[in-house]
A and B are shown apart, each in its own frame.
Chain A
């Protein structure tokens, strides 16, 4: 069964992660090689050598596809230059957001790109071991990745003796489950160590002291999948884009009130309106009311924000985040206050409990949200909410805590009318929250 529909994109959008025409058999190594797979690994090993690979990536200005958006050249340099007798490369395919399947789709449609990228990374930083961390529930993806690794090993691209150089890069798949927080990189490393999953103070960064205390390079599969293209063409790998601002493409999953929900590969920096065009817009009787960008800890943006570019900085400024690459379109039937309250409750329940502002502050925030939705707000609710949210994100240890307040804060910022309708007039314009529902029951 296919996980999700892969949507066609306009020809001006480059396709770097998912093949433009789907492979007949994504597991066929011959077919993948015919499309150029493992040519970049050969170039990296025989021509560029580790220093050259890192130079090419630094020059490309590419940023990580995970929530953080770190420049990857600097990360690789830090990992390679830290003295250590062993290093790890970790592919973070855990994908915590319960609604998003982009990494799984990528690994199933183009497994060799991720394997090749991770192998190039391991070669560049001098790691002999690559761990692919996946959700234990994704059994089909695990099966495909294991088969792809075995095929690449048999062909000599990974394993004990890569491309006849005597270098060793071993791959292993590590299924994990049981916590939303495993999507955060330091938590994932704790999970791989078999420990309680709580984030660590950074610095020291994972690139200098990561898994079992040794330098560890950790990226999302989309980041690794883009590496072969960059190595193959240098900066010209992205001919249609300015490398310093765009640096490639990202997979987004669009759902909600749209004509064609699914996964699309879009270049960084295209506007949200262009993304909405890819999914066919909002079908006729419905009207666009808001966009939830970035998953459960994302921000809720108004229709006026359709001109915002989909990249880390622009979304951050607008009060949302790239996050899991999830975009949910809300129509008039949805209540943004209810949505923000439930998302905050979700984030509070999933918090690991390490930092107090997160453990208790998010709980209080979700209580404020619930009070507003139930029609029992106290005085100064908005001021208290804004204040507390600022404190929580200012004292954050990890990105979950830093962004968990985005939903409520963006509602205060963009949907003040609707919030005031709940607080002051005790009504829900969308007719979802408790006060309105009760009024309706009384009327019948």
Chain B
């Protein structure tokens, strides 16, 4: 075809004008809603950051919001606890390896499953009856369950969800939020007070030292040595500063002795 000056522009403008008068595809969401099938839910997609890590923080917000409860996830939650496990774990990247092993019938060497063991659920049923299966009393129900077992077994939470009809994500959200509820069998517990008076007396540095020497991170469950590190919710009236407790008992340790004390507690010989 011979070169006609301006033909390209004309072609382009023709397309522009055709589209200009064609019906518009853009809608003013959310004022107007697209016409989609009743069961349409869109596609779930996890986004990745520039380094290739999944941006999902396993916060369970989407699972709570999901009207048909089809969203579920596995992996580490925002506080670094690993037992966020429910539903098909292989949907999510973190557990692919474990899922492959499980599908092929091989044992999965995963500490995350220790807390999934079967427990006697009769007390759970009793507690639910006592609270009349009331979803609004979930905090009381969970506290009672922890009172019976010493921790919150996953099987018990599953039972609560099945029987009361409360979505598991909701129960998990409550159970993982409150510091006094925990999913692991309790070990020894070291707590640091971080009230302003204790902070002034150097509690922040003591907390850092304890985390390092115990190998336990704040609020993340027991370390390999079975010691967990938490914060005291309030200064014990009359207690000295800085205040450190072991299994609820105030300890008399100062800045100089805290590292050796923690090493001894973690079962390591003093260097």
Contacts and interface: CB of A to CB of B under 8 A. Distances in A.
Nearest to A295: B196
Nearest to A352: B177
Interface in B165-200: 170, 173-174, 176-181, 193-200
A168 to B, nearest CB: 21
B138 to A, nearest CB: 4
Contacts of B233: 98, 135, 137, 177-178, 180
A236 interface: no
A256 B199 CA distance: 11
A399 B204 CA distance: 24
Interface string A187-223: 0000101111110000000000000100000000000
B135 interface: yes
B155 interface: no
B92 to A, nearest CB: 19
Nearest to B138: A194
Given A195-B170, A342-B199, A98 B177 contact: no
A295 B195 CA distance: 8
Nearest to B131: A194
Interface stretch (A9-17, A302-310, A326-334): A326-334
A369 B224 CA distance: 30
Contact of A349 (B141, B196, B218): B218
Given A98-B235, A99-B235, A194 B135 contact: yes
Interface in B100-148: 135-141
Interface in B60-82: 78
A98 B232 contact: yes
B234 interface: yes
A112 to B, nearest CB: 23
B177 A196 contact: yes
A342 B204 contact: yes
A178 B197 contact: no
Nearest to A350: B231
A334 B200 contact: yes
B73 to A, nearest CB: 15
B219 interface: yes
Contact of B197 (A1, A256, A338): A256
A177 B234 CA distance: 10
Contact of B181 (A97, A178, A338, A346): A178
B138 A255 contact: no
Nearest to A432: B202
B178 A178 contact: yes
Give the interface size class of chain B.
Answer: 35 or more
Given A255-B197, A256-B197, A4 B181 contact: no
A177 B178 contact: yes
Given A4-B237, A135-B233, A342-B194, A193 B136 contact: yes
| Most A-side CB within 10 Å, residue of B78, B193, B200, B232 | B200
A98 B232 CA distance: 8
B50 to A, nearest CB: 15
A339 interface: yes
B199 A197 contact: no
B234 A196 contact: no
A379 to B, nearest CB: 22
B266 interface: no
Contacts of A408: none
B137 A194 contact: yes
A195 B174 contact: yes
A179 interface: yes
A328 B198 CA distance: 11
B195 A98 contact: yes
A74 to B, nearest CB: 29
Interface string A129-142: 00000011100000
Interface string A4-37: 1000000000000000000000000000000000
Contact of B174 (A196, A255, A353): A196
A1 B236 CA distance: 12
Interface string A320-355: 000000101010001000110111011001001100
Nearest to B169: A196
Given A97-B195, A177-B178, A346-B194, A135 B200 contact: no
A328 B197 contact: yes
A442 B144 CA distance: 55
B179 A179 contact: yes
A296 interface: yes
Contact of A196 (B173, B195, B198, B200): B173
| Most B-side CB within 10 Å, residue of A193, A196, A198, A255 | A196
A3 interface: yes
B238 interface: yes
Contacts of B180: 136, 177-178
B193 to A, nearest CB: 6
B204 A338 contact: yes
Contact of A98 (B174, B194, B238): B194
A266 interface: no
A291 to B, nearest CB: 11
Interface in A240-257: 255-256
A99 B198 CA distance: 9
A385 interface: no
B235 A3 contact: no
A79 interface: no
A395 to B, nearest CB: 17
A62 interface: no
B157 interface: no
18 contacts: A98-B194, A99-B196, A135-B233, A136-B180, A137-B233, A177-B233, A178-B233, A179-B178, A179-B179, A191-B139, A193-B136, A194-B137, A194-B138, A194-B174, A196-B177, A255-B197, A330-B200, A338-B204
| 6 tightest Cβ-Cβ pairs between the two chains A and B | A178-B178, A342-B204, A99-B195, A194-B138, A98-B195, A196-B173
Given A99-B235, A295-B196, 12 more contacts: A1-B237, A99-B198, A99-B234, A177-B233, A178-B177, A178-B180, A191-B139, A194-B174, A196-B174, A196-B176, A342-B194, A343-B199
Interface of B: 59, 78, 135-141, 170, 173-174, 176-181, 193-200, 202-204, 218-219, 231-235, 237-238
